[in-house]
Structure 1
Amino acid sequence: MTTRKPAPDAPCSINPLSIDSLARRVIEWRRELHQFPELSEQEYQTTQRITRWLHQLSIAPLPIPLQTGVVADIGASSGPVVALRADIDALPIVEDTDVPFPSQHSGVMHACGHDFHTAVMLGAAGLLKAREAQLPGRVRLLFQPAEEVSVGARQLIHAGALQPVSAVFGLHNAPELPSGTFATRSGAFYANVDRFSIRITGKGAHAAKPEEGIDSIIAASHIVIALQTLPSRRVSSLESLVVSVTRIEGGNTWNVLPQTVELEGTVRTYSTQVREQVPDMMRQVIHGTAAALGAQAELAWHPGPPSVVNTPFWADFSRQVAAEQGYQVEIAERQMGGEDFALYLQSGPGTFVSIGSGSPFGLHHPGFNPDESAIYPASRYFAALAEAALHQLAQEQHTAATSKATSPTA
């Protein structure tokens, strides 16, 4: 376990009235975001709102070329740089909650809590801005678009948003954990995420004369069942593999056997080796099953983000800061969900954490409703984490410079 000395003065030691005001503001920001959710790569109004709120905190966004999303810095121009990331997009889900601030955009909802995440990081920004003169470096704020379609992190990386970041931190609210609970783990945390689609072609016919056709619906049904033999019979039980078919589409009337059926779904893994083997195993299953029934089937494979792999040092570090901030700290279980935060961790060190949000319904559910009382404590936590990380990195740089200066070969 990493040990460290807390940074001098708690990062939240600002005027109590300011604290009360900011604690109210984060709730207001979250509710406004919740009322006006936007889908991935369409977050134009969300971007404008975040930009306006940052200006109200006297924080100017950086001129990084992005269609949506915001990047901003707080702190000195010299010294180390750490990043805090929040995702800002919503989902195509019809809301079914009883909150007094429901979505005003029909069929779109913050059902994953990205409004929660954005409010958390805006609150952290306000706290860090109040201590800007004491920061031994810079904190970069990443308000990232398009997490739900796994392209936003790559957009920010290509735009240069991680230069010159030394460590990056992010969060996801965890509705299964009560408010006041914090969890993370070293190493693999979230899964590799891939999408697939399958097109099954038979021979259309009158439903009263199925013998004259090749039933693509029967073939599709057998393929769906056969795919479940991959995790149970083709991969070691010590490995993690999920194959979920999430869409079946075929036919347009009640008395015709359709010519084609389309399937779509997702595969989740942790092992890189298993991930690489799955497409070929799926092709064997779908081709063989379809052929046995006289049909044809083709697989289209769409790779998604890799596994989130936390840097052990920063995972331990983040847990210590969480304990200092009063959280009930737990070792997180591995998640089969996916996160394009993984791409940041492929570019450099950092960690992804879970903040308990105590919702009676889970992520991506129409009734998802996180506990708003968890937002401001999370803001305090990320402000503390960012400042502590800057002190840690500054100390490491100082030690390295001193060591080099006193080396006999210097």
Structure 2
Amino acid sequence: MINKTITKLLEENQEKTIEIRRKLHSEPELSWEEYNTSQFVYEFLTDLGIECRKTEPTGVIGTLTGGKEGRTVALRADMDALSVDELNADLPYKSGTAGKMHACGHDAHTSMLLAAAKALAEVKEDIPGTVRFIFQPAEEVATGAKAMVEQGAMEGVDDVFGIHIWSQMPTHKVACNPGPSFASADIFKVHFKGQGGHGAMPQDCIDAAIIASSFVMNIQSIVSRTIDPQKAAVVTVGKMVVGTRFNIIAENAEIEGTVRCFDAGVRDHIEKQLQVYAEQTASIYGGSATVEYIRGTQPVINGEESAELVQQVAKEAFGEDALYDEKPTMGGEDFSFFLDEAPGSFALVGSGNPEKDTEWAHHHGKFNVDEDALATGAELYAQYAWAYLNK
């Protein structure tokens, strides 16, 4: 199942992989602004002899046609950074742009997939089929994958595989269980309308602050009292803007939050219940409510056959103890839009190492990657493609 030539090629290019990751880390670009990153990727793939095209505005698709006929497997990496100030002051390759940082490991994903592309290109004639490399923008705003699908990224693809660096797992460990991996991630916005007035005369007013506060407290019972406790779900209010001045009873209140779950029926139920709770809570106090529910990413559900192949590849490439049983996360991932088009799976590669201070949470200003994990990710990408096409 494992191609030893690929392993050797990746080992020989390990320093180059680290060099590329550091370059990308020092030059972060936000979602839909990845112009320099995508140009670098395009030129790198083109130099390898891999057929490339860009998608609007900042995606890159590479196609490596093997020397033998066969199926098509897609490998995906995301490229965008976050609006985060880097706090790793002593890092020689720290972000060169204030307020922008690769705080989620997408620089690592990009460098790992480029390394895999280079190794696969060198064994091109032995590949029975086609490898498609998808370098995706705007994962952090959950719109990049969908845009690339609409521009043909998944046309003709039989299977798709992606990786995420994971600081909560030890370096070199690999997790890819069949079934739920990442939750759906939706946004809800609620506007409550009351009747403002003097803070000393509440009897003449309808207090939007009271309506909004009651709503925030009450909606937690949607999960705790209306959903099967064996089905995971989270309803979180992250933003609340109420009133204009300390002695004026608020006429308006704006609330924003997120809903996370794995089950389509639970998702529909929560959306309906938010509407009911908003309207009924407002009605109790004599106000009104309008609700906007925005569906974001789908849940990432790993296909059984694909996830088992990842596990087989990881065991053969890195040893039996490489597998890690990481539980599903309520975080969101727009890799789900690729899984809507073809079967596949999404793996986590550990990069947490206390000796290198790389156990910080994703999206934190001190987030960093144990670069030893790059070799694991690059080989997993390449060997998965090889194993799938030779299956």
What secondary structure sits across from 1:231 in the alignment? helix
How far does residue 210 in structure 1 lie from its aligned partner after superposition? 3.8
What secondary structure sits across from 2:52 in the alignment? coil
Answer yes or no: is the 8 Å Cα contact 2:349–2:376 preserved in 1. Answer: no
Answer yes or no: is the 8 Å Cα contact 1:61–1:72 preserved in 2. Answer: yes
1:227-260: CA deviations, max 9, x gaps?
1111111112111110011111233444433321
Whether 1:85 aligns to 2:87 is: no
What are the within-5 Å matches in structure 2 for residues 264-343 of structure 1? 264-326=256-318, 328-343=322-337
Answer yes or no: is the 8 Å Cα contact 1:127–1:380 preserved in 2. Answer: no
Aligned equivalents of 1:210, 1:101: Cα separation in 2: 57
Counterpart for residue 404 of structure 1: none
How far does residue 319 in structure 1 lie from its aligned partner after superposition? 0.5
What are the within-5 Å matches in structure 2 for residues 375-390 of structure 1? 375-390=374-389
Counterpart for residue 350 of structure 2: 356
Answer yes or no: is the 8 Å Cα contact 2:18–2:111 preserved in 1. Answer: yes
What are the within-5 Å matches in structure 2 for residues 6-405 of structure 1? 6-7=1-2, 9-14=4-9, 19-20=11-12, 22-62=13-53, 65-76=55-66, 78-98=69-89, 99-326=91-318, 328-358=322-352, 359-392=358-391
How far does residue 8 in structure 1 lie from its aligned partner after superposition? 5.4
Normalization by structure 2: what TM-score?
A: 0.92
5+ residue gaps in structure 2? 353-357
Aligned equivalents of 1:220, 1:114: Cα separation in 2: 37
What secondary structure sits across from 1:381 in the alignment? helix
Pair 372,161 (structure 1): closer, same or farther in 2 beyond 3 Å: same
5+ residue gaps in structure 1? 1-5, 393-410
Counterpart for residue 396 of structure 1: none
Please identify, of 159-168 and 178-187, the stretch whose mean Cα deviation from structure 2 is larger. 159-168
Pair 8,197 (structure 1): closer, same or farther in 2 beyond 3 Å: closer
1:303-362: CA deviations, max 9, x gaps?
112111111111101101011111511233112111111121121111110100113211
Normalization by structure 1: what TM-score?
A: 0.88
The code of the aligned residue for 1:266 comes to T
The code of the aligned residue for 1:196 comes to F
Equivalent residues, number: 382
Aligned equivalents of 2:93, 2:197: Cα separation in 1: 51
Answer yes or no: is the 8 Å Cα contact 2:45–2:51 preserved in 1. Answer: yes
Structure with more strand by fraction: 2
What secondary structure sits across from 2:385 in the alignment? helix
Aligned equivalents of 1:202, 1:300: Cα separation in 2: 18
Pair 38,254 (structure 1): closer, same or farther in 2 beyond 3 Å: farther
Aligned equivalents of 1:13, 1:23: Cα separation in 2: 10
Pair 9,34 (structure 1): closer, same or farther in 2 beyond 3 Å: closer
What secondary structure sits across from 1:304 in the alignment? strand
Answer yes or no: is the 8 Å Cα contact 2:104–2:362 preserved in 1. Answer: yes
Structure 1 vs Structure 2 CA RMSD:
1.9
Pair 208,310 (structure 1): closer, same or farther in 2 beyond 3 Å: same
Please list every run of at least 4 consecutive aligned residues from structure 1 whose deviation after the TM superposition is greater than 6 angstroms: none
Aligned equivalents of 1:186, 1:279: Cα separation in 2: 27
What secondary structure sits across from 1:339 in the alignment? coil
The code of the aligned residue for 1:75 comes to T
How far does residue 226 in structure 1 lie from its aligned partner after superposition? 0.9
Aligned equivalents of 1:178, 1:7: Cα separation in 2: 23
What secondary structure sits across from 1:67 in the alignment? coil
1:198-239: CA deviations, max 9, x gaps?
111122223344444322222211111111111111112111
How far does residue 262 in structure 1 lie from its aligned partner after superposition? 0.9
1:123-151: CA deviations, max 9, x gaps?
11111112112211221100011112222
Aligned equivalents of 2:95, 2:3: Cα separation in 1: 42
Aligned equivalents of 2:3, 2:194: Cα separation in 1: 71
